[in-house]
Amino acid sequence: MFQGKSVRELIAIGTEESRKEAQRLMEIEADCMGIRNHYLWGLFSGQSKLRGLQDDEAVTKPPK
């Protein structure tokens, strides 16, 4: 259903299903880039101190 769509396109669709697929793609990209458990994961996934996360939480708690 979402084949060939970018993460940005999936988020723009706005359904719960499309957001889950966007999250899945971002996790795959993070794994490929080797940052899934790195502090950059918080930035890559759109989470930061602006959303109330501390640096150590961004490292150890990837988005759900």
- Using one digit for the tens of pLDDT, what is the confidence trace for 15-54? 999 988 988 888 888 777 766 666 656 655 555 444 444 5
Q: Is residue 46 one of the residues assigned to a domain? A: yes
Residue 49 lies in a domain: yes
Q: Closest Cα partner for 62 from 32, 31, 33?
A: 31
Q: Answer yes or no: is 37 within a domain.
A: yes
CA distances from 60 to 3, 11, 16 (A): 30, 24, 24
Q: Which is nearest to 25 in space by CA: 15, 35, 10? A: 10
CA 36 to the chain's CA centroid: 9
Determine the 3-state secondary structure of 57 from DSSP.
helix
Question: Would residue 2 count as lying in a domain?
Answer: no
Q: What is the mean pLDDT of residues 1-5?
A: 85
Which structural domain, as residue segments, surrounds residue 12? 7-60
Domain count for the chain: 1
Question: Is there a domain that residue 12 lies in?
Answer: yes
Q: Which of 18, 13, 30, 4 is nearest to 46 (CA)?
A: 30
pTM of the complete model: 0.52
